Structure 1
Amino acid sequence: MTGEAHGGRAAQIPGAVDREQVSGNVLVSIGALLLGMLLASLDQTIVATALPTIVSELGGLKHLSWVVTAYLLASTAATPLWGKLGDQYGRKRLFQIAVVIFLIGSALCGIAQDMTQLIAFRGVQGLGGGGLIVLSMAMVGDLVPPRDRGRYQGLFGAVFGASSVLGPLLGGVFTEHLSWRWVFYINLPVGAVALVVIASVLRLPRTATKHVIDYLGTFLIAAVATCLVLVASLGGTTWGWGSPQITGLLVLAAVLAVGFVVVERRAAEPVLPLKLFRVRTFSLTAAISLIIGFAMFGAMTYLPTFLQVVQGVSPTWSGVHLLPMVLGLLLASTGSGQIVSRTGRWKVFPIAGTLVTTLGLLLLHHLDQHSSNAVISGTFFVFGFGLGLVMQVLVLIVQNAVSYEDLGVATSGATFFRSIGAAFGVAVFGSVFAGRLGEQLASAFRDVPLPPGVTVESLEADSRGIAALPAELRAQALDAYSTAITDVFLYAVPVALLAFVLAWFLKEDRLRGSVMAPDVSETLASNPVERSSYDEVCRALSVLGTREGRHEVYRKISARAGYDLVPAASWLLLRIKRYGRVEPGALAEHSSVPLGVILDGARQVEERRLAVREGLDLTLTEQGRVVAERLATAREESLAELLGDWWGPERPTDLVQLVRELNEELCGSDREEPHEGQPVARFR
């Protein structure tokens, strides 16, 4: 997580890198990166529906949470390292290494023989997964110019959205019709294709951005998180709350936290700059992000267990039952982000989102084995909708609250705390579930004789034993499981209410023009997506530019420059300024702009003596050069205005360079279309 120059920035500043020739088949390269992103994002959701089957076969229900937590902790800790090592040694090589590590972890998970092995191998998988996410998104900046980045990075957001839907379904299908091991084996052929394509097609600029990597800070923050997760998952179950082990872990966590603060004060490039916590909005947002991660991933881990054990649905149908929650999350997330970007008002969303999330948790608590499908689906939708209302906006709030130099690290910092919250939430939910399940089963069968070979301990370790019980005893066992799982959501209600209270203390500052809804990958990703300040602004401006890049943009810049030109005339003048001459007929053949629209623009520039004919071509007159220059300046000023106070007297040179490049690309592109109803920016 760094605010320093990223590879995308280096690739755009003249002289910063010695460019190789980038492969002309950008779509193939992007496709390979999307496969890598799919691997990492799918593994955050595909395992959940397989977990009840996994723990039944391998045992160790008490440690179910660690199958998820090990992946989350490893990927979260590894993300900043992958980003900076990619800057120093080249992202292509590092991406290939990340894919190999991820595939090794997947293969090992598939052959795991007990829960201890599976948890350890999930940690290996997480180390690779963190690299897949951060490096694939960073390489977009190496492959495509600033104007195109918004569109291509949007594809990665779409992959996250698709994986959130496909993950539970595929996990259920593989578990039911093949084996839970195929949840991990499926990564191998997909990863192999990605490796082959990356090796044969992808060509990147050579970058050599030096970093002082904060290894110690990264280790310490991961160690603190691990200690706290161990306390949450083992306290009250494996070890008593007052036991020497739990006390020792808490003391160790405190010592490591103090060490982290000391190290971060002195680090040249801290993994999490402490100065960010002096910004009240960042501190509040970090706390709310942690709580949202706590609720979201904790619930997503245990809902399939409720569906499969208590409701008796198959693994496949448990994935189908989760779709209303994912739908609610995506609808609210996308909608709230768009509304905020257009209106500039955002405070209502974290307040409403945390309140609806709290309501969703209460509704989840009231589910039982007799709840209908309609009630379950409605409850899941409400819970997902609440999460979606707040998740998208949190990243936007952070981006708006910090200085340009801290934009990148603050953006990834907000997601970092959600990742830690996710790991902590899964562990806490697991601890509560394991403790409550033991109590409920012991209470249900205290004075009831069980069939031979069936004990309370065996029912607690393997839910499949319920099927062997007589009907009257089976109902009691299901009630015990139902109560243990739904009580988990009740325990999470006060935590969600805390987020609701904190949201009221957020200060609703006016949004900068360049601050807009982040892509879905930043909303759904459970581990931080590390990008630099330059990358964040580049993404925002490029997306804004493509949205503005319609008929209306030329009307606006014409008015700003003080002319009443039709949009096609402004477009032609800017093209002639960039390329020296334009042939209207040939231009119509090579774009989807109707010939009549182009001829109308050409007629106006000729009538006003802004351009003259030289054979079939149009070239600028002296007056036309003045007008075209003013139009270009108007467009550059429009882009600069979007940056708000970041475009001050001391503005960084990389921002100046970015605005100039985008201005030239957006105002003189071969693929711009100025007529009504047609997009201006046409991408490769």
Structure 2
Amino acid sequence: MRGVARARVGFTTNCARVTAADENGPVRTGTSIGLRSDRGPVLLAAMLATALIAIDSTIISTAVPSIVADIGGFTEFPWLFSCYLLAQAVTVPVYGKLADLFGRRPVLLIGIGVFLVGSVLCGLAWAMPVLIAARVVQGLGAGAIQPMAVTIVGDLYTTAERARVQGYIASVWAMSSVVGPTLGGLLSEYASWRWIFLINVPLCLITAALVVKKFAERVQRGRPRIDVRGSVLLTAGLTLALLAILEGGQAWAWLSPAGIAITGGAVVLLTVFVLVERKAAEPVLPLWVFKRRLLVVSGIIAVGAGAIWLGLSSYVPTYVQVVLGHGPLVAGLAVGALLLGWPAAASQSGRIFLRFGFRVCVVLGTSLAVIGSAFLLTLDEETPVLLVAAFCAFIGLGMGFTVAPTVIASQSSVGWSERGVVTAANMFLRSTGSAVGVAVFGAIANATVGSRISEVAGTAVDPDLLSVAMVRIAAVMVLLAVVMLVAATRIPARIVEQPRTPDGV
């Protein structure tokens, strides 16, 4: 792991550079932020934290039958996924701002603690409503863990190093996405479904211990003014907005009283939020995030990437099993090709953007995503599963050259005091893309398959109809990839890198 060496960095929030340090940590005077970390262990902690979130996003999928058989609640089990996603997504922007005010370390430790408590509560749940509530607690912790891991990487590593390190993070996410469902099935079958949550306890403790011992951060900024009104309005508005996207057309009709009330409430709350943020001293989500071209372009790309990722990981396994007739293992390996291509490209993207610039790298990546998505339009009942895997791997390569470089470019364009907000905003938009993907792709599948489900023998899905649905979903992916490509061409040709720390270190 070249370049992952011990780093001692001292910096201040004013113009005076602080350089005095000893074995007990940096010596500071005045308003300052001190950081002295062993980068290797801190990176390991970031990777473990990422694994916690990635595994928990998928591990429950194969355990649902065991959970329902034990505590009941079959009709409510979809909320185990939705409530976790909601709680995680809506809190990410708030945690990002808190990290810029109080430092990354306390926010990450709070997130780990909340996630640990949620995991224990999930493991002890005796009824489905209790388990759903515990999943909300888990999501609240996950909302802090995910952006902090990426933000800390942005603080500790230079632009040249970040591509390789982001490749490590992407590899962990990829492996966890494959390991999660498998581990969930094994624990449910040979132990108890409760262990899919309780296994998080030692992982949380190890991660927290690494952060406490190896990531030394000290923030002295007087008394920051927390934007309480903005935080409440943003969280409530985003909750209603994502709830409308996730459940609209399924739990309730779009034009039903409930659908109109939830959507209208989201619009009102977010409108009031914008008005409040204009006057806030320390806005939780500064409006300049939506005015800087690079950040806006990166956000558009993040939304598209989240939607395409969701579409592939959700529908390719079903297509392989129902249409092509293979088992779950083969289906998992097919979509796993996406997860292999992504980190491989991400780890090598630095060679491209350091030599040719971020715009060239991201245009290359989005072009590969367009081509790979177009390949999916050829899918039918006779497509070899190896070809499906090759298409997924091709899209994965495109995503690897796209997602990590846009995050790195965004982080490089801002200083320490803005990096938490920028990173969190990008991740929130990726989550929003996934939520929108759930709604759009689900609507396409239901319109194609559900319209004639009564004509199909029994309750099985007609493979021919599902094949058509998959091609239609692929057409939307092509459109999304094209939008990402157009956005990529708007990335500034030259990005002025800002100091990783306030004093230019």
TM-score (norm 2): 0.77
Q: Could you tell me which of 635, 638, 655 is aligned with 2:503? A: 655
Q: CA deviation at 1:261?
A: 1.0
User: Is residue 390 from structure 1 mapped to residue 402 from structure 2 by the alignment?
Assistant: yes
User: Do the aligned residues in 2 keep the contact of 1:217 with 1:270 (CA within 8 Å)?
Assistant: yes
Q: Could you tell me which of 466, 473, 483 is aligned with 1:488? A: 473
Query: Residue 15 of structure 1 corresponds to which residue in structure 2?
Result: 29
Distance 1:70-1:261 versus aligned 2 partners, 3 A rule: same
Query: Residue 184 of structure 1 corresponds to which residue in structure 2?
Result: 197
Q: CA deviation at 1:384?
A: 1.6
Question: 2 CA distance for matches of 1:398 and 1:21?
Answer: 22
Query: Residue 169 of structure 1 corresponds to which residue in structure 2?
Result: 179
SS of 2:494's equivalent in the other structure is: coil
Query: Residue 106 of structure 1 corresponds to which residue in structure 2?
Result: 119
Select the structure of larger CA radius of gyration. 1
User: Is residue 418 from structure 1 mapped to residue 409 from structure 2 by the alignment?
Assistant: no
Query: Residue 558 of structure 1 corresponds to which residue in structure 2?
Result: none
Deviations 1:134-167 (A, max 9, x none): 455667899xxx6899879966752442231243
Distance 1:437-1:188 versus aligned 2 partners, 3 A rule: farther
Distance 1:245-1:164 versus aligned 2 partners, 3 A rule: same
Q: CA deviation at 1:21?
A: 12
Question: 1 CA distance for matches of 2:368 and 2:160?
Answer: 31
Q: CA deviation at 1:377?
A: 0.8
User: Do the aligned residues in 2 keep the contact of 1:364 with 1:489 (CA within 8 Å)?
Assistant: yes
Q: Which amino acid aligns with 2:401?
A: L
Of 410-419 and 394-403, deviating more is 394-403
Question: 2 CA distance for matches of 1:400 and 1:194?
Answer: 26
Query: Residue 509 of structure 1 corresponds to which residue in structure 2?
Result: 493
User: Do the aligned residues in 1 keep the contact of 2:53 with 2:142 (CA within 8 Å)?
Assistant: yes
Query: Residue 3 of structure 2 corresponds to which residue in structure 1?
Result: none
Question: 2 CA distance for matches of 1:384 and 1:55?
Answer: 33
Q: Which amino acid aligns with 2:493?
A: D
Query: Residue 314 of structure 2 corresponds to which residue in structure 1?
Result: 301
Query: Residue 498 of structure 1 corresponds to which residue in structure 2?
Result: 483
Deviations 1:514-541 (A, max 9, x none): 4xxxxxxxxxxxxxxxxxx65xx25xxx
Question: 1 CA distance for matches of 2:185 and 2:198?
Answer: 12
User: Do the aligned residues in 1 keep the contact of 2:362 with 2:406 (CA within 8 Å)?
Assistant: yes
Query: Residue 630 of structure 1 corresponds to which residue in structure 2?
Result: none
Q: CA deviation at 1:490?
A: 3.5
Q: CA deviation at 1:340?
A: 1.4
User: Do the aligned residues in 1 keep the contact of 2:93 with 2:421 (CA within 8 Å)?
Assistant: no
Query: Residue 292 of structure 1 corresponds to which residue in structure 2?
Result: 305
Query: Residue 267 of structure 1 corresponds to which residue in structure 2?
Result: 280
Distance 1:337-1:67 versus aligned 2 partners, 3 A rule: farther
Query: Residue 6 of structure 2 corresponds to which residue in structure 1?
Result: none
Query: Residue 454 of structure 2 corresponds to which residue in structure 1?
Result: 442
Question: 2 CA distance for matches of 1:335 and 1:21?
Answer: 28
SS of 1:207's equivalent in the other structure is: strand
Q: Could you tell me which of 226, 238, 242 is aligned with 1:225? A: 238
Query: Residue 21 of structure 2 corresponds to which residue in structure 1?
Result: none
Distance 1:29-1:247 versus aligned 2 partners, 3 A rule: closer
User: Is residue 247 from structure 1 mapped to residue 263 from structure 2 by the alignment?
Assistant: no
Question: 2 CA distance for matches of 1:430 and 1:156?
Answer: 31
Distance 1:127-1:349 versus aligned 2 partners, 3 A rule: same
Deviations 1:183-235 (A, max 9, x none): 43432332244456667x46845434342223333333333333333333333
Of 101-110 and 30-39, deviating more is 30-39
Question: 1 CA distance for matches of 2:350 and 2:106?
Answer: 35
Q: CA deviation at 1:30?
A: 6.2
- The alignment's C-alpha RMSD in Å is 4.3
Q: Which amino acid aligns with 2:200?
A: N
User: Do the aligned residues in 2 keep the contact of 1:292 with 1:421 (CA within 8 Å)?
Assistant: yes
User: Is residue 321 from structure 1 mapped to residue 361 from structure 2 by the alignment?
Assistant: no
Query: Residue 639 of structure 1 corresponds to which residue in structure 2?
Result: none
User: Do the aligned residues in 2 keep the contact of 1:444 with 1:480 (CA within 8 Å)?
Assistant: no
User: Do the aligned residues in 2 keep the contact of 1:20 with 1:203 (CA within 8 Å)?
Assistant: no
Distance 1:205-1:246 versus aligned 2 partners, 3 A rule: closer
User: Do the aligned residues in 2 keep the contact of 1:170 with 1:316 (CA within 8 Å)?
Assistant: no
Question: 1 CA distance for matches of 2:298 and 2:389?
Answer: 30
Distance 1:399-1:185 versus aligned 2 partners, 3 A rule: closer
Distance 1:227-1:117 versus aligned 2 partners, 3 A rule: same
User: Do the aligned residues in 2 keep the contact of 1:176 with 1:314 (CA within 8 Å)?
Assistant: no
SS of 2:219's equivalent in the other structure is: coil
Distance 1:120-1:479 versus aligned 2 partners, 3 A rule: farther
Query: Residue 377 of structure 1 corresponds to which residue in structure 2?
Result: 389
Distance 1:390-1:147 versus aligned 2 partners, 3 A rule: closer
User: Do the aligned residues in 1 keep the contact of 2:83 with 2:136 (CA within 8 Å)?
Assistant: yes
Question: 1 CA distance for matches of 2:377 and 2:73?
Answer: 26
Question: 2 CA distance for matches of 1:510 and 1:29?
Answer: 31
User: Is residue 282 from structure 1 mapped to residue 267 from structure 2 by the alignment?
Assistant: no
Question: 1 CA distance for matches of 2:35 and 2:495?
Answer: 39
Query: Residue 22 of structure 2 corresponds to which residue in structure 1?
Result: none
Q: CA deviation at 1:273?
A: 1.8
Q: Could you tell me which of 356, 364, 381 is aligned with 1:343? A: 356
Distance 1:124-1:302 versus aligned 2 partners, 3 A rule: farther
Question: 2 CA distance for matches of 1:77 and 1:222?
Answer: 5
Q: CA deviation at 1:306?
A: 3.8
User: Do the aligned residues in 1 keep the contact of 2:97 with 2:421 (CA within 8 Å)?
Assistant: no
Q: CA deviation at 1:417?
A: 1.9
Distance 1:89-1:497 versus aligned 2 partners, 3 A rule: closer
Q: CA deviation at 1:380?
A: 1.1
Distance 1:112-1:370 versus aligned 2 partners, 3 A rule: farther
SS of 2:284's equivalent in the other structure is: coil
Q: CA deviation at 1:269?
A: 1.8
Question: 1 CA distance for matches of 2:448 and 2:385?
Answer: 25
Of 320-329 and 228-237, deviating more is 228-237
Query: Residue 158 of structure 1 corresponds to which residue in structure 2?
Result: 168
Q: Which amino acid aligns with 1:15?
A: T
SS of 1:268's equivalent in the other structure is: coil
Deviations 1:170-193 (A, max 9, x none): 422431574465543432332244
Report the identity percentage. 29
Distance 1:243-1:205 versus aligned 2 partners, 3 A rule: closer
Question: 2 CA distance for matches of 1:233 and 1:488?
Answer: 17
User: Do the aligned residues in 2 keep the contact of 1:291 with 1:495 (CA within 8 Å)?
Assistant: yes
User: Do the aligned residues in 1 keep the contact of 2:298 with 2:406 (CA within 8 Å)?
Assistant: yes
Deviations 1:112-136 (A, max 9, x none): 6777655543332121123233455
Question: 1 CA distance for matches of 2:441 and 2:11?
Answer: 42
Query: Residue 332 of structure 1 corresponds to which residue in structure 2?
Result: 345
Question: 2 CA distance for matches of 1:286 and 1:21?
Answer: 29
Distance 1:107-1:373 versus aligned 2 partners, 3 A rule: farther
Deviations 1:92-115 (A, max 9, x none): 665444223212323444566777
